[in-house]
Chain A
Amino acid sequence: MARVVVDVMLKPEILDPQGQAVAGALPRFGVTGVTSVRVGKRIEIDFAGEPDLDQARLIADRLLANPVIETYTVRIEDEAGGARPQPSTAGAAA
């Protein structure tokens, strides 16, 4: 399957109220010891032919993520559903 997975996260220095709200709910059902929760997005992109990482990076950079406040990683998902990390795809995460 020609699937590319893009993960988008807020940069560490950007406040994540959603993550904080989730973290705040944890003690209410007895979960303690969690110091931080951050919520991001996973986007699955299916290509008709071979997965096109350059196109995926373009999509991520132009639309899926706002590089001012977010980082993204792009990777090809293999047949088994596992992810093959792509060494050069975390450029915006720097």
Chain B
Amino acid sequence: MSVVVGVVTFPGSLDDRDAVRAVRRCGGTAVRLWHADDSLHGVDAVILPGGFSYGDYLRCGAIARFAPVMETIADAARGGLPVLGICNGFQILCEAHLLPGALVRNEHLHFRNRDQRLRIGSVASAWTNAFAPGQEIVIPVKNGEGRYVADAKTLDELEAEDRVIARYVGGNPNGSLRDIAGIRNEAGNVVGLMPHPEHAVEELTGPSLDGQGFFHSLFRHLAGAGAVAAR
């Protein structure tokens, strides 16, 4: 049976359709979830897509965090539901305190949109277990507020616990501390990633097919083959 992935649409989401399309291209079934509906409709995993939820008013992700669907997702994530936050979705996960740290204005103040090389770090997550540790991939990055920040203690913990899932290589596009592009929670089911795997799943439109690895990781995880952190 095909894995069912819910993709949330907030007012101002941009990449929800691409995420839906990526799930389907990779062999899953995608279900659209609506921010104001607190039901997850029995999905096996959730993607919080990129964009500008609620206009990014106040702070990116600050208001989306309180959307009815997010309350349900936060509870389910604490229970082990795989959740991937991409770009704005990463910001929402941080605002919801499902992941530590915050994402702030790019250090150089410019919006950055380019194909970005990443080095995979932890593969002990629901979304990265199909990669090899140290594997380099290229997927698009596009953000104005993608600079990952946290205090030194948190950064040290993330590194000590192998919770950095990807780092920028070949140039840090936004000034993220320690070149962090994505992190996972302790259990490995919640991942936040600033670059966009959903834009790198087919030759016609992406710089590579490397984005597929995140979706194939999920399928492996749900099939029980994934090497998830909770060991």
A residues apposed to B, CB below 8 Å: 17-18, 21-22, 24-25, 28-29, 39
Contacts and interface: CB of A to CB of B under 8 A. Distances in A.
Given A21-B54, A28-B71, A39-B58, 18 more contacts: A17-B55, A17-B57, A18-B55, A18-B57, A18-B58, A21-B55, A21-B58, A21-B63, A22-B57, A22-B58, A22-B63, A24-B63, A25-B54, A25-B63, A25-B66, A28-B67, A28-B68, A29-B66
Chain B CB within 10 A, most for which of A17, A18, A29: A18
24 contacts: A17-B55, A17-B57, A18-B55, A18-B57, A18-B58, A21-B54, A21-B55, A21-B57, A21-B58, A21-B63, A22-B57, A22-B58, A22-B63, A24-B63, A25-B54, A25-B63, A25-B66, A28-B66, A28-B67, A28-B68, A28-B71, A29-B66, A39-B57, A39-B58
Contacts of B63: 21-22, 24-25
Chain A CB within 10 A, most for which of B54, B55, B57, B68: B57
Contacts of B67: 28
How extensive is the interface on chain B, given as a class?
Answer: under 10
Contacts of B57: 17-18, 21-22, 39
Contacts of B68: 28
Contacts of A29: 66
A25 B57 CA distance: 11
A24 B11 CA distance: 13
Interface of B: 54-55, 57-58, 63, 66-68, 71
A82 to B, nearest CB: 26
B67 to A, nearest CB: 8
Contacts of B55: 17-18, 21
Contacts of A18: 55, 57-58
A65 B180 CA distance: 36
Nearest to B71: A28
Contacts of A39: 57-58
A29 B96 CA distance: 13
Nearest to A26: B66
Considering the complex of A and B, which 7 residue pairs feature the smallest CB-CB distances, nearest first? A18-B57, A28-B66, A21-B57, A25-B66, A25-B63, A21-B54, A21-B63
A74 B58 CA distance: 23
A17 B56 CA distance: 11
Chain A CB within 10 A, most for which of B55, B66, B67: B66
Nearest to B12: A21
Contacts of A28: 66-68, 71
Nearest to B65: A25
A29 B66 CA distance: 7
B151 to A, nearest CB: 23
A9 to B, nearest CB: 15
A39 B63 CA distance: 14
A29 to B, nearest CB: 6
